[in-house]
Structure 1
Amino acid sequence: MVILIIFLALFAGTRLDIDQDYHMYYKNFLYIEDSLKDFNNREISIEYNIFFLPHFFEIFFNNNLTVVRSVFLTFALLGVSTKLIAIKKYSDYFFLSVISYMSYLYFMMEMTTIRAGVAAGFYLLSIKALEEKNNKVFFAIVAVCFFFHSSSILFLLPWILNKIRLQIKYYYLLIFISFLSAVFKINVLTLLLLDRIFPRVDTYMKVMEWQKEDETNIFNFRTLFALLMVVLFAFFYKKLKDVKYFDLLFKIHMVSIILFFFLSTSAQVFSTRSFELLSVVQILLYPMILKAFHPKLRILGWTLIFAFSLIQLYYIISVADIYKPYKSWFFN
C-alpha cells in the first residue's frame, strides 16, 4: 500500500498545468502574502492552509518554485494517503474500493479540487468516530478538514442527522422532495436567505450570473448511478443494515444526493462540489453491494462496480474535457 500511496501522490502532486484549478493554486502558493494580517485582509478570504504551507516550506527551501512544488506534493500525499488508509481500515473489499477511488475521485480531488480532496480524506478517516459517537475525535478531525476547506461544514450535517436518529424512510422522503425542488427550480439558498447570511454564497451566485453559467445537469451519469445505488441498497437494506458502517455510509450517500438536488438551482459550484465532497464515502459504500448477493452470485456485484468505474474513467478522461495531456516535472 505504501508503494501505491507514493506512486499516486507523485503522479498527482508533480503534475503541471493540466487541470482547471492549477494556475489559481500556483499563483496563490507563489505570491502568498508575507504576513498573516495581509492574508486576512484579502478581498476574497481563503483557508489558512494556503498561507501556512508555503511559509512552512520556505523554512527549508530558498527557491520559490521548489516551495510551490512541495506544497502541491503535500496536498497530493495527504489526499491520497488519508483515503487509502481509510480504505485499508474500513473496507472489506480493498481492491474494489481502490478501483472506485482511482476511476474518478482521485482525478477530481487530487488533481483539481486539492483542498477538498484533503478534507474529504480526513473525513473518511472519521467514519469510525462518527459510527461510535466519539464526538471528541470526530470534531477534532472535522476541525482539520475545515483548516483545508471551509465546505467541510457540510460534514456536520450527517452528524446532526445521526444524532437525532432520523429514520431511513425520511432520507428517502428528502431525496424525493429535493428532486422536486430541482425539477421545479426552487432556489433553496435564496429561500432560506443563506445568500444574505454567508457573503461567499452571495459572491458565488453573482459570479454565476455574470458568467451566465449553464444550469446544473441533474441527470448526469454520476447522479443517476448514485440514485441506482440508493434503489439497490434500499431493496437490500434489511439484509445490509447490520453490516459495520453500512447504515452510516448509506445515509451520508443519500445526504450527498439531497444536497446536490437542493443546491442544483443555485450554482454548479455548490451542488456539484458538495455532492463530490460527501460522495467520498462511495469508495467504501459501493463495494458493500457484494454482501447483498449470495456468494455464487457476487460476480454480479463485481461486474456492477467494475462497469461503473470503467465508465467513470472513460468519461473523465475522454468526454469531460477537464484535463489537458498529462505533464509532470518528475516523470518527464
Structure 2
Amino acid sequence: MNIIPPAFLVFIIAFSFIEFYNDISRRDGKYILINRVLFIFFIVILILLSGFRSQGVGIDDGSYNEIFLSIPSFNYDYTSNFTSLEIGFINLIRTLKLFDFNIHVLFFLCAVLSLCSLSYSVRKMSPLFFLSLLLFYSHDYWYRDVNQIRAAVAYGFLLVSLYFYCNKNVFYFLFFIFLASLFHYSSLFFLLVFFERYINTRKQHFLLLFISVIVSFLSVNIFSLIFNNLQSGYLHEKIFKYAMNDGDSNVFALDIWRPKNIKLILVFILGYIFWDELIKSKYFKTLFSVFTFGLCVIVLLKSAGVIAARLGSMFTVVDIILIPIIISSVILSKRKFSLFIVFVLISIVFFIHNYFMLGKGYNYSMFIF
C-alpha cells in the first residue's frame, strides 16, 4: 500500500485547521499571501499524484490507453473509431503523438488543466482554500482526476466559467463552457446556469427541489420520457451508452441515499437554514442555485444512475466552494467550529472509503518510482 496519499490527507487536514483558526482570528494580508502560496504548492502535489500515476490505477485507464493507441498523430489521416469522443480530447492526443509522447503525458496534461482550473476557482471564490482542497481530495479527486480525466478537465473549466458568471462576464462564462465541451459534451448543459437568476429566495429553492422529489416519487420516469422521444442519431447513441451499466442491457437506478447524496442533502439543509446569514456572501446565491439544480437532476433522473450521477455532479461540484462559504459566513463561532469539524470528519470517512475500501490504496503507485 502506498502511504503518500494518506499522508498528504493528514497535511491537508492540519493546514485546514490552521486556516480555520486564522479565518476566525481575522489575520492580516501577509498570512493570506502565505496561505495562497502553500495552497498552490499542494495543488502541484496533486498534479504529480494524478499525472504521474501508474497506468491501471484508474478504472478507466485501460480504455484511455486503447483510445490513445488507436488515434494517430496529425501526420496521418484519421477517421474516428470513437464516435462519441470529444474533438478537443482527440486533438490533444494527436498533438502528443506528433512528439511521440506516451499516455503518461496525457494523464499529466489533463491533471494540469483540471487542477489549475480548480485552484483558480477556489482561490477566487472560497474563503477557506484548504477546506475546499480537503473536500475535493477526499472524494472527487479519486473519482475524476484519477479516473474520469475528461470529466475532470471539463469540470475544472466549468468552475472557472461560474466565477466569471458571478462577476457578470458573460463572454468568458460562455468561453469556458465551450472549452469544457471540447472535453465533455455534457458541459453544454451548464448553460442552464442562466436560469438561476429566476430563483432568488429560500422558498423558491425549496419549492424547486420539492417538486422534483414529488415527480420522482410519483414514479414519473423522466429519463424514459426524454430518451424515447429522441430521434436515433449521435445524441441518442451517446445517452444510451452512458445509461448502460458497464455494457449491461439494463439501466440501473441511482441510490438517492448513498453517502455522497446524503452529504449533498445536508449541504442543502444548511444553506436553507442559514440563508439569511449566507445571502450576504457575494457567491452564495448563485452557487446555491447551481447546487440545487444538481440535486434536482439527481432526483429526477435517478432511474438512469449514470446519467443522474454525471449530470448532477456537474452542478453539485460547487459544493467544494459552497461548504466553506457556509462555514465562513455563519455568524456564531461555535456553529462555525461545529460545522467545520463535521465536514472534516465527513471528508476523512469519504477518503477512507474511496482510497481503502474501493481498492485505490492497494493499487496506487507512480510510474516514475
Fold in common (TM above 0.5)? yes
- The residue aligned with 2:276 is 238
Q: Which residue of 2 aligns with 1:76?
A: 111
Between the aligned partners of 2:160 and 2:212, the Cα distance in structure 1 is: 28
1:268 matched to 2:305? The reply is yes
**TM-score, normalised relative to structure 2:** 0.81
Question: Aligned letter for 1:54?
Answer: I
Q: Which residue of 2 aligns with 1:146?
A: 181
In 2, the alpha carbon distance for the partners of 1:90 and 1:284 equals 7
Give the 5 Å matches for 1:141-290. Answer: 141-162=176-197, 164-165=198-199, 167-193=201-227, 196-197=230-231, 198-199=235-236, 200-205=238-243, 210-212=248-250, 214-265=252-303, 267-290=304-327
Instruction: Please state how far the C-alpha of 1:76 moved relative to its aligned partner.
Output: 0.9
Identity of aligned residues (%): 23
**Distance in 1 between residues matched to 2:226 and 2:215, nearest whole Å:** 13
Distance across 2 between alignment mates of 1:73 and 1:327 = 15
Against the structure 1 CA distance between its residues 273 and 28, is the aligned structure 2 distance closer, same or farther, given a 3 Å change threshold? same
Q: Helix, strand or coil: the match of 2:57?
A: coil
**Alignment partner of 1:89 is 2:127:** no
> Residues 270 and 282 (structure 1 numbering): CA distance in 2 closer, same or farther, change over 3 Å?
same
Letter in 1 for 2:203: K
Give 3-state SS (helix, strand or coil) of 1:148's partner: coil
- Distance of 2:143 and 2:300 partners within structure 1: 22
Structure-2 change in CA distance of 1:190 and 1:289 (3 Å): same
Aligned to 2:156: 121
Amino acid in structure 2 at the alignment position of 1:253: F
Shift of 1:311: 1.6
Q: Which residue of 2 aligns with 1:104?
A: 139
Q: 1:261 to 1:159 in 2, by over 3 A?
A: same
Q: Which amino acid aligns with 2:336?
A: R
Q: CA deviation at 1:166?
A: 5.6
CA 1:318–1:158 in 2, change beyond 3 Å: closer, same or farther?
Answer: same
**CA–CA separation in structure 2 for the residues paired with 1:20 and 1:292:** 39
- Separation of aligned partners in 1, 2:200 and 2:336: 31
Structure 1 counterpart of 2:337? 299
Partner of 2:56: 17
Q: How far 1:274 moved relative to its partner?
A: 1.6
Question: Following superposition of structure 1 onto structure 2, how do residues 127-138 of structure 1 map, counting pairs within 5 Å?
Answer: 127-138=162-173
- Once residues 102 and 229 of structure 2 are traced to their aligned partners in structure 1, the CA distance between those partners, rounded to angstroms, is 36
Letter aligned with residue 109 of structure 1: R
RMSD across aligned positions (CA): 2.3
Q: Deviations over 1:12-60 (max 9, x none)?
A: 01222022211111111121145697445x363210123211221233x
**Matches of 1:131 and 1:37 in 2, distance apart?**
43
Q: Flag the 1:87–1:209 CA change in 2: closer, same or farther, 3 A.
A: closer
Deviations 1:299-331 (A, max 9, x none): 11211220111121122123345775102212x
CA shift digits 1:73-100 (9 cap, x unpaired): 1001111111112111211111211111
Structure 1 stretches lacking a partner, 5+ long: none
| Count of residue correspondences | 324
Give the 3-state SS of the residue equivalent to 1:264 in structure 2.
Answer: coil
1:20-59 equivalences under 5 Å are 20-33=59-72, 38-40=78-80, 42=81, 44-59=83-98
- TM-score after normalising by structure 1: 0.89
Cα 1:324–1:276 shift into 2, 3 Å: farther
Q: Which of 175-184 and 223-232 deviates more?
A: 175-184
Q: Per-residue deviation at 1:270?
A: 0.5
